[in-house]
Amino acid sequence: MAALARVCNVLALLGITGLLLIVFWYQFARGELPCPMCLLQRLGLIAAGVGFLLNVRYGASESHYGIAILSALAGAAAAGREILLHNAPGSGAYGASLFGLHFYTGAFIVFCLIILVCGALLFIEGQFVEGVRDLRPSLLAQALGWVFVLVALGNAISTLLLCGVGPCPEHPTGYQLPWK
């Protein structure tokens, strides 16, 4: 059962990394600049990914799952707020959609899934045994961890370029340089 938990953590980290790469593709290839709420949702995804990355790298821990759950709750709050903002009469939707769902709606669903997966994985007690926790991750899992770190750093850099050192624009139209 501990091996199942490890595979689930790797798959969750892979999914989060894939989602971040998809939104980067939309940002750079299609010119869909993220709004401040979208940036908060990305931060929630990255923070949840850190919880899964810690489980992959250092072995499963209840506190690592706690990081992922609390991050997903914060991300779900940001996504839920954006859903409510754009469901008001006359407000219209904001941004692109994927599979018929706007990114903020899809993000809300993903955050709920992260919470459910973490809750289910906490029931696998065998993953918290000391001998199991000391297993080193595979080379593939280590490579995935580095890709996730690079994507997270890319997100930080793109946010700095988008917002500069001040508050992010409500409806961004282009990148600002940090020294402006």
Give tens-digit pLDDT for 120-175.
Answer: 999 988 888 766 555 677 889 999 999 999 999 999 999 998 888 888 888 888 88
pLDDT at 112: 98
Q: Do residues 125 and 61 lie in contact, with contact meaning Cβ atoms separated by under 8 Å?
A: no
- 60 is written with which tokens? 């499963």
Nearest one of 159, 158, 157, 152 to 50, comparing CA atoms? 152
Give tens-digit pLDDT for 48-73.
Answer: 999 999 999 988 999 999 999 999 99
How far from 57 is each of 1, 25, 64, 67, 127, CA to CA, in Å? 18, 27, 11, 15, 13
- Is pTM beyond 0.85? Reply is yes
pLDDT at 91: 64
Each domain of the chain, given as residue ranges in start order, spans 2-28+35-163
pLDDT at 180: 47
Give tens-digit pLDDT for 75-108.
Answer: 999 999 999 888 766 666 667 777 888 889 999 9
Give tens-digit pLDDT for 41-54.
Answer: 999 999 999 999 99
